[in-house]
Structure 1
Amino acid sequence: MSIQKMRGAIHGAAKALGLDDDTRRAVIGQVTKKTFGTEKTSTTRLTEPECQAVLDEFQRRGWTGPKKKFWKESDRPKARKVHAQWGELKRFGAIEAKERKALHAWIRRQFNLPANVTADPDMMAEDDLDRVIDALKAWIRRLKAEQAKGE
């Protein structure tokens, strides 16, 4: 989740819990001071770990989490592989957004697809999926090699 979405989730969580603006700011201040040693009361000043700590606190207080968009998992193994590799790139920090539209945009750029050709792995031909999988594997291999050099 991007930091902007985390900040929005903090506001949504506070609203769902019935917290007014002052109470929300007080909770943010308490969490950041206790966890990170500096009291911050504005979401715009929070870092990603601080946002996560505040969201964890709201969950401890009974917030069930943001409403997640649901999409059906693909029946096609190669399409699932593409989505899994995209998620792995997100975990490596190589990409900002894990959403499908970001994946579609990357596929369009990588393979110079015209606007009338689908970039959705769930609808692509098997040979096109093989090319996408190979490109994602190569990207992941490069990241792992860079990570190994840094250790």
Structure 2
Amino acid sequence: MKAGAQSSPAIARGRRNAELAAIHVAVKQLGLDDSTYRALLFATTGHRSAAELDDGQRQQVIELLRSRGFKRTPAEEKRARRMADNRQLAMIRGLWKKLHYAGALSNPSDRHLSAFVKKLTGIERAEWLAPEEAIKVIEVLKGWLARVVAKAPEPGR
């Protein structure tokens, strides 16, 4: 990486936006109303808007908010959201196919499975489910399959 790449306008803009977002998250987390927030900004930096702050002033405000109890959630912690494992996803897809073979579904496509998952959990795709949500989907599918199988006529009748 080039030494000058660290100070590119895009990186500086991204850093500025992240710092402004951190300031606003801190204000919300600390429960500051607008007038208190603007008074704090003015007393610290001489500006009434965070958009007017330079790099050093943004850092100064963030440090002040930290000293008042603001705790920033690390990005790694946010990204570490647990996802359903492959066994759970395979179980969901397997039950979905069994429902199709049992005649309960007219279309067993992934698109229809995603629509079912969204209706049940509010999450767009099965791959994005947390383990607890995947268990909920699996249990609903198992119950549905049990009802379909119970209604099916016995072979040979």
Q: TM-score range by the shorter chain?
A: 0.3 to 0.5
More helix by share: 2
* TM-score using structure 2 length: 0.42
* TM-score using structure 1 length: 0.44
